[in-house]
A and B are shown apart, each in its own frame.
Chain A
């Protein structure tokens, strides 16, 4: 039997939970794993220490679906979101993000005005501010790879020479690009070919040739895990995750830079956020010179020149910016137009 006293105690305890759990705070969302840890260390924690505002730092696995669901249902749960340029253009043109007042960005540590300090690409979209330059490449582990050392994107599709599972992120982005590049399409023609029905069919055919050997994952943090626990012999990954596994965890991983698809990550504000002012303040802080330089922990390059003086000389050669000639720039505009239809074709192809 519940005594009255115990009941009151229970009510009191839960009331205490209520006040602590309902305290006002802002929600920021990013990709988790090593990258999330670097952001926590160099952007979130210093911001809280400086301003006293609390940030609930959540993970998501990218894409615009969750943002869209929030905006369309009017149920806004996130305030600030770290979004890939590949999704940014679409999210912005579909009205899922707030317009960011870029003229309020602070000057660099060296006094150079923000407009000159940031790279052009970082401020190219009105909805956000570039946060890092990063890239998607594939990696293998010296422990598990058989048949030699892969060095070209075509090797990813060559299951005869390099047997074993390939882990790819479950979405058309980058996979379609790689399929065409591996099939011999020149990087310059890539998006033109991909915008035709024949080009899309060609990409799907190429992917079909290894479909049985593909392991799909949803979140970037799964990539190094799959490589580590033997779930796949080659994985598609954000370069920082592999870098961190090699640097911090001493894993025998190798990155293949051929045909890497580089891109920016951008801080943006979800349309209808109830904490818009706070969110803008956070973005101004997070994209200032020093916090940005902290992303070198995971080999992601800063988007403003004034940050580079904080970057370790040894890390410079590991940044995507040192490998631009081997890679392709992801087209946010292409994916804004084709993300929808290729997304559906891709899902249908998956279910086939």
Chain B
């Protein structure tokens, strides 16, 4: 198990390390796993009942999941979250990808200043962003509208696109572009056939980050959105403040599934792009 030259204390240290590491992993995962069985609770409580612990099938039910579909507000919130997230991701990804390409060119003046400006939405606390947007967007009649929330979320998502595309471009050789153009390819063709395939993993991870940023975001929605633009996190927030019931847990479990899918997608892309890079 351990190299033979390890002393007793070193072995003990390794065990201690292993135990700490595993308990930390447990600390990270338990809060996420614990809501799964609770969401199937037949009783309207946030805790395990006797029946659940005895694995009595009658103690479990799908009713909180059905409740989501029967509640107009949850259905609207789910629609809104995907709708807003979709458009915010499109805007953030397109603008962010172009900006990242421009930023990595050595001819770009004031590179670090622009970089700082463009990733600032990630650093400024959301409450400040939300308050400022509330004042500003209200004057433009954008508060309480879909467009307002989409623009706000797109702004919050762009730093992630820039960072991931930037990383993908870090090894990019711009002479390839010149070569392509030199061979007579049109710029648009060059972009899609030369640049895009190389940065695609970065763009897709950036887009996923931008989507999850919008999909998770609640502070800006809290300040900017009207009742019509309620999103899933917004609905959860008011649910947790006003009336706690296990429907929220059922929604939470569904969100964990969404995150797991996102995570697997991004890991898959990363593994593949690593293979391509190391393979070449």
Contacts and interface: CB of A to CB of B under 8 A. Distances in A.
Are chains A and B touching directly in their complex (CB below 8 angstroms)?
A: yes
B143 A14 contact: no
A207 interface: no
A27 B79 contact: no
B227 interface: yes
Contacts of B135: 73
A248 interface: no
Interface residues of A, number: 29
Contacts of B243: 32-33, 219, 221-222, 225
B244 A56 contact: no
Interface stretch (B80-88, B155-163, B171-179): B80-88
Contacts of B139: 74
Interface string A44-85: 000000000000101101000000000001111110000000
Contact of B226 (A1, A32, A77, A221): A77
A21 interface: yes
Contacts of A32: 242-243
A33 B238 CA distance: 13
Interface in B211-264: 226-228, 238, 241-244
A1 B238 contact: no
Interface in A7-25: 10, 14, 17-18, 20-22, 25
B76 interface: yes
Interface string A219-244: 10110010001000000000000000
A47 to B, nearest CB: 15
Interface string B103-135: 000000000000000000000000000000011
Given A17-B82, A33-B243, A59-B242, A22 B87 contact: no
Contacts of A33: 242-243
Interface residues of B, number: 26
A218 interface: yes
A78 B143 contact: no
Nearest to A15: B83
Nearest to B242: A219
Contacts of A27: 226-228
A181 to B, nearest CB: 29
A20 B78 CA distance: 13
B10 interface: no
Interface in A230-286: none
B87 A14 contact: yes
Contact of B76 (A21, A74, A77): A21
B244 A225 contact: yes
Contact of A21 (B83, B134, B144, B200): B83
A33 B243 CA distance: 8
Contacts of B200: 1
Interface in A70-107: 73-78
Contacts of B79: 17, 20-21
A90 B243 CA distance: 28
Interface in B10-57: 45
Contacts of A17: 79-80, 82-83
A75 B87 CA distance: 23
B65 interface: no
Contacts of A59: 238, 242
A74 B243 CA distance: 30
A147 to B, nearest CB: 27
A154 to B, nearest CB: 31
Contacts of A221: 242-243
B265 interface: no
Given A21-B228, A73-B135, A78-B227, A61 B143 contact: no
A20 B72 CA distance: 12
B80 A73 contact: no
B146 interface: yes
A77 B83 CA distance: 20
A222 B242 contact: yes
B131 to A, nearest CB: 11
13 contacts: A14-B83, A17-B82, A18-B83, A20-B79, A21-B80, A22-B228, A73-B134, A74-B138, A75-B134, A75-B138, A75-B144, A222-B242, A225-B243
Given A18-B83, A74-B139, 15 more contacts: A14-B83, A17-B83, A21-B80, A22-B146, A27-B226, A32-B242, A56-B227, A59-B242, A61-B242, A73-B134, A74-B141, A75-B137, A75-B144, A221-B242, A222-B242
